[in-house]
């Protein structure tokens, strides 16, 4: 199984978790690491992105949670790359049967993502627009890999999560 990890982190050099994850992923032959903010200072190359997606079985969108969503370049990627006739609509079946996973880090701890907590809603609720997108483009939406409370995490916890994350996204469904 070939896995494409699309990373959208605007300041990866200052990252603790996403960077550690990326470094771990790069050790694996079956994983293609594709860093959007490094690749595109200007226009996204839509054809190149579509070909990359077509060449993989599973796609991962990895990002730090920004304002209850992804950093803006991933949204732009969706707006430009998921075109009518390719990702949805008449004959738009290029991604059908592929799998989609979100890998997300949050500043807030898990206890803040619940009713009555600081953020009021769970991550499963807040990530619904991604799930709805997955439904429309015909990908199977697999459970997200979440890392809460990045600023309190120890080096050991981050390293452990990096290995666990790589193993998770490389494991076939059945
Ligand atoms: C512009 C911006 C918006 C953010 N919004 C959220 C948010 O909505 N919820 C949250 O839990 N953390 C938020 N954070 C914190 C980041 O999610 C956190 O710094 C990141 O996941 C850390 O990952 P890293 O070590 O890979 O950079 C935000 C940070 C920035 C810079």
Kindly report, residue by residue over 39-98, the tens digit of the pLDDT. Answer: 999 999 999 999 999 999 999 999 999 999 999 999 999 999 999 999 999 999 999 999
Number of domains in the chain: 1
Report the alpha-carbon distance of residue 117 to residue 113 in Å, rounded.
Answer: 6
- Pick the closest to residue 6 from 75, 83, 67 (CA basis): 75
Residue owning the nearest CA to atom 3 of ligand 1: 66
Which tokens hold the place of 165?
């994350």
* Per-residue model confidence (pLDDT) at position 173: 86
Assess whether the C-beta atom of 150 lies below 6 angstroms from ligand 1: yes
Assess whether the C-beta atom of 37 lies below 6 angstroms from ligand 1: no
Q: Which of 13, 64, 118, 148 to mutate to test the pocket of ligand 1 (most atoms within 8 A of CB)?
A: 64
- Read off the pLDDT of each residue in 19-36 and give the average, rounded to a whole number: 98
Parent domain of 77: 3-170
The domain that contains 64 carries what CATH number? 3.40.50.360
Q: Where are the alpha helices (DSSP H) in the chain?
A: 17-25, 36-39, 46-54, 72-81, 123-126, 128-137, 155-170
The minimum-distance atom of ligand 1 relative to the CA of 105 is 21
The minimum-distance atom of ligand 1 relative to the CA of 14 is 27
Which tokens hold the place of 111?
């206890």
Assess whether the C-beta atom of 70 lies below 6 angstroms from ligand 1: no
pTM: 0.98
Assess whether the C-beta atom of 72 lies below 6 angstroms from ligand 1: no
* Per-residue model confidence (pLDDT) at position 39: 98
- Pick the closest to residue 130 from 83, 67, 61 (CA basis): 61
Q: Cα–chain-centroid distance for residue 2? A: 15
* Per-residue model confidence (pLDDT) at position 168: 98
Q: Where are the alpha helices (DSSP H) in 99-154?
A: 123-126, 128-137
Bridge partners (DSSP) of residue 147 are 105
């Amino acid at each position: 199984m070939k896995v494409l990890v699309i990373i959208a982190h605007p300041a990866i050099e200052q990252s603790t978790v996403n960077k550690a994850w990326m470094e771990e992923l790069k050790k694996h032959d079956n994983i293609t690491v594709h860093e959007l903010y490094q690749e595109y200072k200007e226009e996204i190359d839509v054809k190149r992105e579509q070909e990359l997606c077509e060449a993989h079985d599973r796609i991962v969108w990895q990002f730090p949670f920004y304002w209850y969503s992804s950093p803006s370049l991933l949204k732009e990627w969706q707006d430009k790359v998921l075109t009518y006739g390719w990702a949805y609509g008449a004959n738009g079946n290029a991604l059908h049967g592929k799998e989609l996973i979100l890998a997300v880090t949050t500043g807030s701890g898990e206890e803040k993502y619940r009713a009555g907590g600081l953020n009021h809603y769970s991550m499963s609720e807040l990530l619904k627009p991604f799930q709805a997108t997955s439904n429309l483009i015909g990908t199977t939406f697999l459970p997200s890999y979440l890392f809460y409370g990045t600023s309190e995490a120890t080096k050991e916890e981050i390293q452990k999560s990096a290995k666990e994350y790589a193993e998770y996204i490389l494991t076939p469904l059945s």
